[in-house]
Amino acid sequence: MLMELLFWITMSILCVITYFIVHKPLYIVERLFLILFLEFFITSYFAVISVNLEQIYIEKQMVPTIMFLCFELILLPVLFLFFIDLFNSTSLIKRLLIFGLSILVCLGMEWLLLIQDVIVHVNWGLWQSMLGYVTMLVVTIIIHYMFKAILIDEGVVTK
Domain limits, the chain? 2-10+27-154
Residue 92's pLDDT is 84
Taking the model in full, what pTM does it have?
0.89
Q: Strand pairing partners for 120?
A: 57
Q: Tell me the percentage of the chain whose pLDDT exceeds 70.
A: 100
Closest by alpha carbon to 15, among 62, 68, 61, 82?
82
Number of CB atoms found within 10 A of residue 26's CB: 18
Residue 148: predicted pLDDT: 92
